[in-house]
Amino acid sequence: MSNETLLSVKNLEVTFNTPKGDVHAVRGVSFDLGCERLGIVGESGSGKSQTGRAILGLTAANGKITADQMTFHDVDLANLTPKQWRKVRGARISMIMQDPKYSLNPVMTIGDQIIEAYREHHKVNAKEARHRAIDMLDAVKIRDPERVFNSYPHEVSGGMGQRVMIAMMLIPDPELIIADEPTSALDVTVQLQVMAILDDLVRDRGMALIFISHDLQLVSSFCDRVLVMYQGHVVEEIKASALHEAKHPYTKGLLNCLPKMDGDHSDLPILEREASWAEG
């Protein structure tokens, strides 16, 4: 990990106003990120996605974000105009979402979508943009990049679609990628292939990664450090290599739920919960 801090988040809160009252989705989350891979793990509804979305100003209209600090280098993410956001979102920080089916435009070829993503942030002619797009499809290990370039999203598999999404998000050369459950719509073998591609690209290009997932095993094998979230709070921050030393009972409970390779076939444990866990 480099010592330079890229992203600094202090006391982030996200609250949604709903007809049934306020939903306090993120409660006082703080962390610093260098050029490293940070995993955010936790059960459904724990506030992982809303933490990632708040960083990019993608919180739904009924949500309110407050933070003592939310800076990317010297850019104050809490106070950007739409014009300033266009220089950050996609260009310096990109987000890879869960399912390419909902993120790719169904009536535009894959090539045109990648070119559009590139030309949004780089002034190049059509020929050069096409060249870059094909190279990028090649970089995400698509064997026949020309064919995929000319295909529509429905003509490629889920795993291929997610590689296309990675190509599209990485082509502007962002410094930080936020990947929100990027492989959870894929079957396990394809999931590992796609993660390996993302892992190589992040390393080769010297990018930072925030990897959001409910899968502790996947997160700990691809990240340097892990934030464990529970009911909107970060309840534990730990090096991935030291997960076995986790102190918080929720993290220990998650670890105990992982399947073991030692031939122990006992029932999976039931996670005991305490109200005090969420007190931060």
> Which spans of this chain sit near ligand ATP (rule: CB under 6 A)?
16, 18, 23, 25, 42, 44-50, 60, 62-63, 214
How far apart are CB 104 and ligand ATP at their closest, in Å?
A: 20
b/e sequence 94-112, b meaning 16+ C-beta within 10 Å: bbbbbbbeebbeeeebbbb
How far apart are CB 27 and ligand ATP at their closest, in Å?
A: 10
HSE-up of residue 174 (Cα within 13 Å, Cβ side):
28
How far apart are CB 18 and ligand ATP at their closest, in Å?
A: 5
Of 195 and 228, CB closest to ligand ATP = 228
How far apart are CB 34 and ligand ATP at their closest, in Å?
A: 23
Of 16 and 31, CB closest to ligand ATP = 16
3-state SS assignment for residue 196: helix
For residue 57, count other CB atoms closer than 10 A to its CB: 17
Of 171 and 229, CB closest to ligand ATP = 229
Distances (CA, A) of 10 to 40, 77, 78, 176, 242: 16, 12, 11, 18, 24
Distance CA 24, CA 16 (A): 6
Distance CA 136, CA 163 (A): 10
How far apart are CB 181 and ligand ATP at their closest, in Å?
A: 6
Of 16 and 85, CB closest to ligand ATP = 16
How far apart are CB 24 and ligand ATP at their closest, in Å?
A: 8
How far apart are CB 28 and ligand ATP at their closest, in Å?
A: 14
The helix-helix angle for 158-170 and 126-139 (nearest 10°) equals 130
* Token pair for 78: 């809490």
Of 48 and 89, CB closest to ligand ATP = 48
Q: Are 176 and 7 in contact (CB under 8 A)?
A: yes
For residue 86, count other CB atoms closer than 10 A to its CB: 13
Of 98 and 113, CB closest to ligand ATP = 98
Distance CA 195, CA 259 (A): 20
Of 60 and 261, CB closest to ligand ATP = 60
Distance CA 229, CA 280 (A): 10
Of 54 and 140, CB closest to ligand ATP = 54
How far apart are CB 53 and ligand ATP at their closest, in Å?
A: 7
